[in-house]
Amino acid sequence: MSRNHDNFADLITFTRASTATFVGSNGLIQSATTNIPRIDFDPVTNDRKGLLIEESRTNLFTYSEDFSDSDWTKFGSATVTASTVTTPDGGQSGFVLETSSTNRLEDTPSTAITGTATLSIFGKHNNVSFIVLQIIDSSANGQRQWFKIDDGTLGSSTAVGTGKNLSNASITDMGSGFYRLSMSVDGFSSQTGRCLIYLARTDSSFDASSGDAAIIYGAQLEQGSFPTSYIPTSGAAATRAADIATIATSAFGYNQDEGTFLAEASTFDGEGSSKIVFLASSSGAQSTDRFLLFFSSSEALKFEIETGNVQQANIVRGTGFLNSFKKMAAAYQENNAAFAITDLAASTDTSCTIPANTILTLGRFTGTNLSLNGHMKKFQYFPRRLSDTQLQEITR
């Protein structure tokens, strides 16, 4: 993250009022202390994803790893025993879950959810092919999803009762045979989420038999429409605070009259209306005078200029960029704004006035919970308005 001779990473004021986890360069989940940024890596390829920027979330489970605790009810023949298998954090924090038929492991956190609930857990194949996750409300209305943990593919889903929709399901390779399984169910109205974990031999069934087992680790229930980084708990629900990264424009030779921002970023938020890449504004004027670059609800990329509470430019490029890194170049000059992204040439606006900006915020809209919910791999600034041809070149 650099501009010529200056290193943006050294100029950033970074805050986060809690610890938070990320995947390190060794492919393992680790923890960053309060106010320390997280440089996240792919757990399988070890590719550097960049600065992880997320909104605040709470893991509602009080025991995310200790499945032997009484908070986790074992129905019928279901049992859990401590495992010696290395878990995604490099320790031995997992449990062997054994169940048969509709016997299961279950927990119902006491905090009510409104909107969408996302349930996730890390699972590894032992001798049974499927882990089945289910979220229902107190009236037994919800959704159920099968996850094939021997090859990392999604199985079937079915409704349980009425009134709840499965908005998202995913299975993510975490390396060493572990997958993170996630499902998001909407339609909650100040209701608790009852979370059930089954095993199965085949898709769309409850045909596990005595001795069938899988390794589980790191359960998380959060209010939100997609899973975020793992939040460990032990005895109480825990909250990860939002990531906030700011830079005073005076710190990096900002040119008020003209300039170009270059970013490479991605978002894993498929539901939010504005996933912020950067906001440039003056203190207290972020709603009226600003540059704003963000992923829209359709994962299009938008560059907006606002001056005196009047929109000066709104340039939109592409769509459907969920979980996809894109390079994006936003250039400004009076009556000469432009925006280019990977594989798409610059689009321009020739009627705009430029606001005076004093603060650059990465991945967040100040004073709101609007965040990138993704990764910033690169950020660069040029104190001049690059040509449209140059914008296309630097976004290749």
What's the rounded mean pLDDT across residues 240-261? Answer: 97
pLDDT band at 9 (very low <50, low <70, confident <90, very high): confident
Distance CA 370, CA 362 (A): 11
Architecture of domain 57-240 in CATH? Sandwich (2.60)
14-28: pLDDT as tens digits: 999 999 999 999 999
Which tokens sit at 363? 């991945």
Amino acid at 126: N
Q: Are 220 and 162 in contact (CB under 8 A)?
A: no
- Tell me whether residue 130 is exposed, middle or buried, using C-beta atoms within 10 angstroms of its C-beta: 0 to 12, 13 to 18, 19 or more: buried
What's the rounded mean pLDDT across residues 166-188? Answer: 98
4: which residues sit within 8 A by CB, 6+ positions away?
none
pLDDT band at 271 (very low <50, low <70, confident <90, very high): confident
Q: Is the confidence at residue 1, as pLDDT, over 80?
A: no
- Going by C-alpha positions, the residue among 218, 194, 202 that lies closest to residue 21 is 218
| Predicted local distance difference test score (pLDDT) of residue 129 | 98
- Residue pointed to by tokens 């890596």: 41
| Predicted local distance difference test score (pLDDT) of residue 5 | 45
Amino acid at 111: T
- Residue pointed to by tokens 């062997």: 96
Which tokens sit at 149? 């943990």
Which tokens sit at 200? 């199965």
DSSP 8-state class, residue 86: P
322-332: pLDDT as tens digits: 999 999 999 99
Cα dihedral sign, 80-84-86-91: positive
Query: Three-state SS for 370?
Result: coil
Q: Is the confidence at residue 157, as pLDDT, over 80?
A: yes
97-113: pLDDT as tens digits: 999 999 999 999 999 99
pLDDT band at 6 (very low <50, low <70, confident <90, very high): low
What's the rounded mean pLDDT across residues 364-385? Answer: 94
Which tokens sit at 65? 């790893």
Q: Is the confidence at residue 65, as pLDDT, over 90?
A: yes
Distance CA 71, CA 244 (A): 34
Specify the DSSP element, H or E, that contains 149. none
Q: Which residues, in sequence order, are bridge partners of residue 263?
A: 328, 379
Q: Are 312 and 353 in contact (CB under 8 A)?
A: yes
Q: Which residues, in sequence order, are bridge partners of residue 173?
A: 179
Up-side HSE of residue 141: CA atoms within 13 Å toward CB?
Answer: 10
116-150: pLDDT as tens digits: 999 999 999 999 999 999 999 999 999 999 999 99
Q: Are 220 and 119 in contact (CB under 8 A)?
A: yes
Query: Three-state SS for 11?
Result: helix
Q: Would you kindly state where each structural domain of the chain is located, as residue ranges?
A: 2-16+242-394, 57-240
- Going by C-alpha positions, the residue among 308, 276, 268 that lies closest to residue 292 is 276
What's the rounded mean pLDDT across residues 273-278? Answer: 94
Q: How far is CA 322 from the centre of its chain?
A: 11
Q: Quick check: do 2-16+242-394 and 57-240 share a fold?
A: yes
Which tokens sit at 392? 């296309």
Share of the chain above pLDDT 90, in %: 93
Q: Is the confidence at residue 163, as pLDDT, over 90?
A: yes
| Predicted local distance difference test score (pLDDT) of residue 312 | 98
Domain 2-16+242-394 class?
Answer: mainly beta
Count of C-beta atoms within a 10 Å radius of residue 24: 18
293-311: pLDDT as tens digits: 999 988 899 999 999 999 9
Distance CA 359, CA 362 (A): 10
What's the mean pLDDT when you consider all of the chain?
A: 96
Distance CA 360, CA 352 (A): 20
Residue 9 main-chain phi, psi, to 5 deg: -60, -30
**What b/e sequence results for 203-219 when a residue is b if at least 16 CB atoms lie within 10 Å of its CB, and e otherwise?**
beebebeeebbbbbbbb
pLDDT band at 369 (very low <50, low <70, confident <90, very high): confident
